[in-house]
Structure 1
Amino acid sequence: MFDWIPLPLYTPTYFNTLLLVALLILLHASQYDIRDRTSIDFFNITGYFLVVLIILFIGLRPISGRYFGDTSTYNQIYSLMESGQEVEIRKDFVFNYFMKFCSNFINIHGFFLLVSIIYVTPCLLFSKKYFGQYWFFAFFMFIASYSFWSYGTNGLRNGLGTAFFILGLYFYNRKRVMYIFFATGYFMHASILIPIAAFLVSGFYKNPKAYFYIWLASIPLSLAGGSAWISFFGSLGIAEDRTAGYLTDAEINLEQFSQTGFRWDFLLYSASAVFAGWYFIFKKNITDRFYIHLFGIFCISNAFWILVITAAFSNRFAYLSWFLMPAVIAYPMFRYKIWNDQYKIFALILFAYFMFTYFMNVIK
């Protein structure tokens, strides 16, 4: 484990390491051409090293509820399972039975390491499939995203659910396999129903303008409706009890969530991906079927979050779209020729994208 890193510095160490990598990419882009074979080889080696480091750093973190949220809760449940005590499982069946199975063979640190592998690997596979020899840059955007760290160390079930959704997208052209992974993600955490529903809707009605207008309309609807939307979705029973509780148990959750209300900063963060999709599809005429589908999933899922943005713990719903932001922003830039000096522009975009993460997690 990384016990030699003081707990207060553990999370900042992660983000400061990524800051160094982001600066390296920015500096490299100012001097070299990404198509150069030496550059590609360099970032391949750097990328694999970073994959291993991130898996180990997340998986072998110390057990601390103060610094890693639900890590201590999972540790307590795992200890009960290890001791042979009966633990009733009524929801998130894949995750809980997986935890119960692992408790027969490995300790809690081994379990968290295995969870880390499952969490990080789909991002790697997705990046390698859709970005080819430039996979490192997409992968870096995934791990440099605002909530990636927290859902690898705190909201594990949410994080694993989205990981299996990404793995499903890896098998986009093999529908049966894709839906199996979607279903697995749902039974990891029921909130994955939201991006699954967005996937189905945007796959059935293939009109990116409609997705864009849905997203735009959600902003005034949220400002006007406020708590009415929270009550409405909370009453539908579309998710398991704890997930629905993020919407309805306002007084309880307010004690645990430091900032509520209409989060304009998070809305602007989401808008960066919507703007990217709008720009690439409508201004640069990208007609890629997979990309348009991704854009639809993001817009619909993010619109749902905007409608409930004032709820305590609405960040749990924000992640159900945010986990796709790296793909929405980066995909066209490594599949199509869009600008001159495209690598330099991407490096600037990536750096700005990461700096939001760095500011919110380290500086703020």
Structure 2
Amino acid sequence: MLNKEEIFFNRLYLILYLILSFVTFIIIIETYYKNKNTKKIQLLLLNFFCIIYIFLFGLRDVNVGVDTKYSILYFTGKVSVNSLSDVKDLGIYFISIITKKISSNVSFFLCIMASIFIIPLNIFIKKININNTLVLFFFFVSFFFFRNMGMNTIRQGVAVSFFLLGIFYYFKNKKIITSILFILAFLNHASIIIAILILIVSRYIYNIRFSYYVYIITTIISITNINIVNFLSKVPVINILVQDRLESYYTENAMEVYRVGFRPDFWLFNTLFAIIGYYVNKKVKDIYYTQIYVTYLCLSSFFFLMFSGAFSDRFGVLSWILIPLLILPLTNKDLNKKINYLNIFMIFILCFSLFLVFNLK
């Protein structure tokens, strides 16, 4: 049962999304049918909507989002820290300490967290797709993980934004800044280490069929509902995450409140974009796109293995954040001519429909 603060927030969020959708649709018509250059207006609109979303997430009531009350614990001082070893996510701890020195207002802290979530994403979008920035932002906002990271799992949202920006510099072979961004991502949410490691390993997967085999095998394993925590606890680096978080996802209480076991809904969702990525990858023939696609397949495979525990969607996010990048090439006018059955308008309708499905329950 939603409280009145959450109902009010959801209405505002829906209204804002509908406005963003309308503006994006107009931009698509101007760009793809009237062949107008909308680069500058898209940049202005991107910045405008990013600011609006920062305030929407930042000025929300503390009762909006189940995890919000946990995110402000360090800021409000309700949790005493005797040693840094007691802190799970150092990132939000230091942000809380620094922010509190400026203001003790909770809304100020939430605005800072929202800014750290949105701004790196804004920079990433501008760097990776300079011509259709608003359209790419629309892709991100359309998926349910964006709302959840902005108002609930904000620590993971911050980690994801740093990770995405890190991907750009990783492909540019900027090792120092890539390392800094990946470390910042890890400090804010340890689970991002899975995405980082798989991204790096994917560079050395030369045969894409290997990823398909892994996808199929993990699907079969997930159907059998095998608990893999014991195995993961023996894998270096990953075992830190297991001891820190995963074990709590397999407690009796967690298993009672969350649907566990094979999730055909999640599997079909990920497979849909795996199929789209397959066709796009055959057309674009770009080594960076292929690496993103392989990373997506491997992260999806890891996600399937997590079906046996509670809160598996928190690992699903690691693959979902790459979906906008999988459909990004469809904003290319030349590619739209090659794939006339999977063009920008169909993707727009798909994204809009998925938003309505997951937000109008």
TM-score, length-scaled by structure 2 = 0.87
Corresponding position: 1:130 with 2:128: yes
Alignment match, 1:157 = 155
Alignment match, 1:95 = 92
- Report the 3-state secondary structure (helix = DSSP H, G, I; strand = E; otherwise coil) of the residue aligned with 2:157: helix
Corresponding position: 1:75 with 2:75: no
How far the C-alpha of 1:29 sits from its partner, in A, is 4.2
Q: Deviations over 1:286-320 (max 9, x none)?
A: 22122111112211111101012132111111111
Alignment match, 1:260 = 260
Alignment match, 1:190 = 190
Letter matched to residue 275 of structure 2:
F
Is the contact between residue 227 and residue 309 of structure 2 (CA under 8 Å) also seen in structure 1? no
Letter matched to residue 47 of structure 1:
L
Structure 2: 5+ residue runs without aligned partners? none
The separation in 2 between residues aligned to 1:22 and 1:269, in whole angstroms, is: 21
Alignment match, 2:309 = 311
Pairs aligned (count): 349
CA-based RMSD of the aligned residues comes to 2.7
**How has the CA–CA distance of structure 1 residues 49 and 344 changed in structure 2, closer, same or farther, with 3 Å as cutoff?**
farther
Q: Deviations over 1:174-212 (max 9, x none)?
A: 122112211221121111111011012101223333223
What does residue range 282-361 of structure 1 map to in structure 2 within 5 Å?
282=282, 284=283, 286-330=284-328, 332-335=329-332, 337-340=334-337, 345-361=343-359
Identical aligned pairs, as a percentage?
A: 22
- Report the 3-state secondary structure (helix = DSSP H, G, I; strand = E; otherwise coil) of the residue aligned with 2:336: coil
How far the C-alpha of 1:356 sits from its partner, in A, is 1.8
The separation in 1 between residues aligned to 2:349 and 2:274, in whole angstroms, is: 18
The separation in 2 between residues aligned to 1:309 and 1:344, in whole angstroms, is: 30
The separation in 1 between residues aligned to 2:342 and 2:205, in whole angstroms, is: 35
The separation in 2 between residues aligned to 1:60 and 1:161, in whole angstroms, is: 21
The separation in 2 between residues aligned to 1:28 and 1:360, in whole angstroms, is: 25
How far the C-alpha of 1:10 sits from its partner, in A, is 0.7
TM-score, length-scaled by structure 1 = 0.86
Is the contact between residue 151 and residue 159 of structure 1 (CA under 8 Å) also seen in structure 2? yes
Is the contact between residue 116 and residue 158 of structure 2 (CA under 8 Å) also seen in structure 1? yes
**How has the CA–CA distance of structure 1 residues 81 and 88 changed in structure 2, closer, same or farther, with 3 Å as cutoff?**
farther
Q: Which has the higher contact order (CA 8 A, sep 6+)?
A: 1
Structure 1: 5+ residue runs without aligned partners? none
**How has the CA–CA distance of structure 1 residues 277 and 77 changed in structure 2, closer, same or farther, with 3 Å as cutoff?**
same
How far the C-alpha of 1:78 sits from its partner, in A, is 1.4
Alignment match, 2:11 = 12
Is the contact between residue 58 and residue 113 of structure 2 (CA under 8 Å) also seen in structure 1? yes
